[in-house]
A and B are shown apart, each in its own frame.
Chain A
Amino acid sequence: MPAAFRKISRIGSLTGATVWYLSDDCLLAAKRVMYAVEYRRFYLRDLESIVVWPSRVWLLRPAIPGVLLLALGALLWQLVNSTAGAIAGGAGLAWAALELALGPTAQSRIQTTGTSVDMPIVKRTRGARKVLAKIDAAVRATRGDAMAQPTAATNQPQPATPVSETKSEPAPAAAPIGDVT
């Protein structure tokens, strides 16, 4: 019997959407493009890290439609009447304001044992905390005793060491490697 999947996030696009589900043992991405859905599983046992960062070009989302609608509004104001221009211009401003209020879009990288995949796991960076907390809870529940070992998080921020001073030797492992077999 398949484990029960619960939806944790959805990232829409023009041609489809990627919906993320969480079950007892895996994180499942269901990517829909037109009339096909492809599934990809990330077993919680294999998850090593998830990194989320703001997209570099997210400001284009409010800028491009906003500018286009404002230009359309100016044209309508001149050529048709002020009401039509105000509606189009107002829509452009509202779009830009909404996008800015929602915040940056996010990109993410999922690292599992042996592979690293760049797939957006949340639409906006502000939703990352909630989604990562759910995944973290599921990973901890799955691994149980293995997670009792000390984790990698530290209270001390890592110093910004200049590149020239870094040594070629790898730093000592902050997190232990557990053997589950």
Chain B
Amino acid sequence: MSLNLNLFTAAPSSSETGGFATVAATGLPQPTPGSVACPSCGGAVVPTEEPSGWQRCPYCEKRLRVQVWPVVRQKTDAAFAMPEHATCFFHPEKAYEACCQRCGRFLCALCDFQLGAEHVCPTCFERGRTGSGLQGGTAEWRHRDVLYDSIALTIGWGWILFWPVIIAALPATIVLHVKFRKAPRSYLMSRSGWRFWVAYIGLLWLPSLIASFYIVGRMARRH
């Protein structure tokens, strides 16, 4: 049994880069460009134009909906540089192909990482990955956010389950709000900050209710 903490990385038993190697062992034809591996049997399935959009795997009869796009491969056979040519920073014998848009280093086809429309070198790629944690990093690098506003919301209303916790819940909510008040808008999928205010409502409704009853009671006794 394996414990997988990464939310996206598939467990070792899943098909991440796998699938195709095992296909040959089953004797079924291997997928080629323009076809896909059947998720059930691994046989190559060529998409057909059915009116319903669904088709069946010719080998295991599993119902599938397949969408295939032409394969676009990056050029990775970096050319050797001629004596007068500009060369790669990392591979002095390879010809210049692109310029890193972060640090300006010359890159060959091997070192040219494309992120969307941006060309970056391996060093800047690694730096961007490691620096794209909770707050830092641009949208292109961002791979994780912590939802502080949702944490505050849970704290703000969660004390009802065990009321003495309210003593710690109020300062915790204030700290979260002050420290991360801009976080909801800086998430990759930005959100408004209403959860912080709803958390305050959760913390203050009972004290406010008790206080209002007390005040009303005192006023009634005076009259």
Question: For chain B, which range describes its interface: under 10, 10 to 19, 20 to 34, or 35 or more residues?
Answer: 35 or more
Residues on B with C-beta less than 8 A from A100 are none
Q: Mark B36-80, 1 if CB is under 8 A from A, else 0.
A: 110110001111110001010011001111111111111100000
Binds B, one of A60-68, A77-85, A86-94, A110-118: A110-118
Interchain CB contact under 8 A, A170 and B189: no
With A37-B144, A116-B15, A128-B65 in contact, is A174–B73 under 8 Å at CB? Answer: no
A21 at the interface (CB under 8 A from B): yes
Cα–Cα distance between A132 and B69 once the two chains are bound (Å): 12
Closest Cβ–Cβ distance, residue B132 to chain A (whole Å): 10
C-alpha gap A114/B39 in the complex (Å)? 17
Docked Cα-Cα span, A175 to B33, in Å, equals 6
Interface string of A32-52 (1 = CB under 8 A from B): 110111111001011111111
Question: Pick the contact of B65 from A26, A51, A160 — CB < 8 Å?
Answer: A51
Which residue, B48, B64, B189, has most C-beta atoms of chain A within 10 A? B189
Question: Is B39's CB under 8 angstroms from A51's CB?
Answer: yes
> Does A57 count as interface, using CB distance less than 8 angstroms?
no
A116 contact set on B, CB distance < 8 A: 15-20, 37
Contact with A along B65-102 (1 / 0, CB 8 A): 11111111111000000000000000000000100000
Instruction: Please give the distance in Å from B125's CB to the nearest CB on chain A.
Output: 14
A153 contacts B144, C-beta separation under 8 Å? no
Q: Enumerate chain B residues within 8 angstroms of A69, measured Cβ to Cβ.
A: none
For residue B32, CB closer than 8 A to chain A, the reply is yes
A1-55 contacts to B, CB under 8 A, are 1-3, 5, 19, 21, 25-26, 28-33, 35-40, 43, 45-54
Chain B 102-145, CB-CB to A under 8 Å as 1, else 0, gives: 00000001000011110000000000000000000011101111
In angstroms, Cα B53 to Cα A110, docked, is: 17
The answer to whether A109 touches B117, judged by C-beta atoms less than 8 angstroms apart, is: no
Give chain B residues whose Cβ lies under 8 Å from the Cβ of A157: 48, 55, 58
Q: Is the CB of B58 within 8 A of A48?
A: no
Q: Is B163 an interface residue (CB 8 A)?
A: no
**Most chain B CB neighbours (cut-off 10 Å) among A1, A2, A31, A49:** A49
Which residue of the partner chain A has the closest CB to B52? A129
B7 part of interface (Cβ distance < 8 Å): yes
Stretch of B22-30, B165-173, B202-210, B215-223 lying at the A interface: B22-30
| B188 part of interface (Cβ distance < 8 Å) | yes
A171 to B203, CA, bound (A): 66
> Could you tell me if A166 and B139 are in contact, using CB atoms closer than 8 angstroms?
no
**Per-residue B-contact encoding for A152-170, CB less than 8 Å = 1, 0 else:** 1111111111011011001
Neighbouring A residues of B15 by C-beta, 8 Å = 109, 116-118
The residue in chain B whose Cβ has the minimal distance to the Cβ of A53 is: B64
Q: Tell me the minimal C-beta distance from A18 to chain B in angstroms.
A: 9
Q: Which residue of B lies closest to A33 (CB)?
A: B7
Additional A-B contact list (19), CB under 8 Å, known A38-B7, A48-B69, A151-B70: A39-B144, A39-B188, A48-B33, A49-B69, A50-B67, A53-B63, A54-B63, A116-B19, A118-B14, A152-B68, A153-B47, A161-B58, A163-B27, A170-B29, A174-B35, A174-B46, A177-B71, A178-B72, A178-B73
Residues of A with Cβ closer than 8 Å to B?
1-3, 5, 19, 21, 25-26, 28-33, 35-40, 43, 45-54, 107, 109, 111, 113-119, 125, 128-129, 132, 135-136, 139, 143, 146-147, 149, 151-161, 163-164, 166-167, 170-181
A–B complex contacts, Cβ < 8 Å, 11 sampled? A35-B147, A38-B144, A46-B72, A49-B36, A51-B66, A117-B8, A118-B14, A153-B47, A171-B35, A174-B35, A180-B74
